[in-house]
Structure 1
Amino acid sequence: MKRLAVAATGAALLSSVVLSGCAAFTDDSASSADGVEVAAAFYPLQYVAGRVAGEHAKVENLTTPGNEPHDLELSPKETADVARADLVLYQRGFQPAVDDAVDQSATGDTLDVADVVDLVPFRDHGVDSDELDPHFWQDPLLLADVGDAVAEQLEEVDPDNADDYAANAADLRADLKQLDQEYADGLTGCERTTVVVSHDAFGYLQRYGVTMAAILGLSPDSEPTPADLARLQELIHDDGVTTVFSESLVSPETAEQLADDTGVKSAVLDPIEGLTDETSDEDYLSLMHANLSALEEANGC
């Protein structure tokens, strides 16, 4: 996974940004007296926080819709969101800018989801890297674990509404268990199991019996070598692959070119790292269902 260097701003500048952001918030926005404030680092965490918090909290997504979360650099407003939040929900190591803001600015509770779920190395997904795969939300049951942890954290922040948080987390887990079963049933007995995707964001789906082969490796904007493309062309031919999947938030050009070169279809498999203009009316569950339908069609399930 790409590790972007975050430009140092200096302690004085950061303090100024945080203080000015907090001052503006106090004057013009709802304060903690009006409800709990949650800052979520990227969309799947925002989805979980919103489901668990319900009407009792305002949830801000630090990654603007349409932007790649890997590339995030926080604005002064987003840094102020971290500073004033009652709870910051993030994944250490996934977005260095958020890690820095949490370390330097957070004044409320923080929850690192990497402490909640057991991330596995890319090597376990067949990729030559010992780096941990951060895309755990492709496994609905792991996302349910995050929901339970968010409920526990919110119960500490806002004990008056503890029963609602626990009930909302239970409802979320029920939905995610059903989704997990749908994937297990839907991807059983397929004509083929190989799935060619844009980059290594879908490894956690392999527990449903599919095998992911990525064009771009760990980084969504890296470039494949001629040897990579030749290997994939051979794999597509040998395994009878019908579809090459591009994804939202990054250019589909490389995936579409590979599909064209091999005479197969091109389609979208959404890594659900963030929403776009086209998916603004969707949510995690609907996008996961769309992905399942695409995989079933591509693999003859």
Structure 2
Amino acid sequence: MRGRIDIKLTAVCAAAVLTAAGCGDGGQAAGEASGKLSVVTGVYPLQWLAEQVGGDHVDVANLTEPGAGPHDLELTPRQIGQVGEADVAFYVAGLQPAVDDAVESQGGGNALDVAELVDLRTLEANAEAAEGGHDHGAQEGGDHEHGGEASTDDAQEGGDHDHDHGEEGAHGHGALDPHMWLDTERFAEAASGLADRLAELDPDHSADYAANAESVDGLLGEIGTEYTEGLAECESRDIVVSHSAFGYLAARFDLHQISPAGLDPHSEPSPARLAEVAATVREHDITTVFTEPLSDSGAARTIAAEADAETAILDPIEGITDRSPGDDYPSIMRANLDTLTEALRCS
């Protein structure tokens, strides 16, 4: 009799896993069990933002495990169930196909796409900027002259700020660049939009969500000011990176992204492309090629070796690992700034 009971319980648990309801928790989401709102995120920066804005009134679960890259995320049945059970599924459409599929399959009105809160850069705009090129030959002594004001998106995003010759659109990321958290102003807008959604679901704590979003806005404003001041006067404005995750950072702070590949960190650029980037590094006295903590930076290291340049970590903050230059979003952003000011020889 005992054996039959064990078999029956095992079958129940297996069925619960298949329906992502879980076993041993009565099928309750963490937020439901605690009386808090439950928020599920796909990538670390959105987890950090949800925790800051939600404060003590939310339980946040990130679908990407610490130390894992977000681009290749595969969800378990239980995680797919989490997406449907959460009060808010906070994600960036196009970044993680598995999350997109889970949101679509689970239905409901709990999805909150970052693209609903802020304007995202288009990959077409990046490609146009790359095609326009940047006239290094007209500059003397490594000083770069730029048209337009760095503080306006129109001037930045229409100018020659992305030297990305990769085929981003071919990597399944859709038409928009998802890495908006590297633009502090856009990230602050997302905080405000998330606060509004949480307040709709939990009006009793709406003042807390608004105050938390205001605090996030202040912190991000400080970081943005540090970047503006730190990168104001630099001998170089070219950043050579493993994959083109830094379009927002480049546009916001008047830098020029050069990548051997597109948005896919696992793409393998051709030998000809690697040689082309290495030649650019040598020609324009670029001293540093940037690698990443979470993805294979073999192409970047090859370019650095070919061009006799140094390497340093510039973190796109797609996740936290023991190789990250900080332990949370603000500390990594500030570590990235320190790395940039040294590599670009800023005064």
TM-score past 0.5 threshold = yes
TM-score under structure 2 normalisation?
A: 0.78
Structure 2 residue 313 is matched with structure 1 residue 268 = yes
| SS across alignment from 2:311 | strand
For residues 115-141 of structure 1, what are the alpha-carbon distances to aligned partners after superposition, in whole Å with 9 as ceiling and x for unaligned?
Answer: 211111234332456632111111011
Aligned residue number for residue 41 of structure 2: 40
| Structure 1 Cα separation of the partners of residues 66 and 228 of structure 2 | 30
Letter in 2 for 1:39: V
- The answer to whether residue 231 in structure 2 is matched with residue 187 in structure 1 is yes
Q: Distance in 2 between matches of 1:199 and 1:73?
A: 21
Task: Please state how far the C-alpha of 1:273 moved relative to its aligned partner.
Answer: 0.8
Indicate whether 1:278 and 2:326 are aligned: no
Gaps of 5+ in 1: 1-14
Q: Which residue of 1 aligns with 2:184?
A: 140
2:258 to 198, 209, 213: 213
| Count of residue correspondences | 287
Distance 1:42 1:52 in 2: 16
- Counterpart residue number, 1:118: 119
Mark the CA change 1:85 to 1:240 in structure 2 (over 3 Å): closer, same or farther: same
Gaps of 5+ in 2: 1-14, 131-163, 170-174
TM-score by length of 1: 0.89
Residue 299 of structure 2, aligned match among 226, 231, 254: 254
My pick for the range that moved more, 126-135 or 196-205, is: 126-135
RMSD value over aligned CA atoms?
2.1
User: Counterparts in 2 of 1:61-76, with a 5 A limit?
Assistant: 61-76=62-77
Residue identity in the other structure for 1:82: V
Structure 1 residues 280, 55: CA separation in 2 closer, same or farther (over 3 Å shift)? farther
Matched residue, 1:236: 281
- 8 Å Cα contact 1:42/1:62 also seen in 2: yes
Map 1:3-152; keep pairs closer than 5 Å. Answer: 17=17, 19-21=19-21, 24-26=24-26, 30-32=30-32, 34-107=35-108, 109-125=110-126, 126=130, 127=164, 131-152=175-196
Decide which structure has the larger Cα Rg and report it: 2
Q: Provide the C-alpha distance between the structure 1 equivalents of 2:204 and 2:244, rounded to a whole number of angstroms.
A: 42
**Residues 77-133 of structure 1, C-alpha deviation per residue, up to 9 Å, x if partnerless?**
311221221111011122111111112225562211112111112343324566321
The answer to whether the 8 Å contact 1:197/1:213 transfers is yes
Partner SS state of residue 206, structure 2: helix
Q: Distance in 1 between matches of 2:276 and 2:196?
A: 47
Aligned partners of 1:154, 1:31: CA distance in 2, in Å? Answer: 13
SS of the equivalent of 1:71 reads coil
TM-aligned CA deviation for residue 228 of structure 1: 0.8
Partner Cα distance (1:187, 1:75) in 2: 43
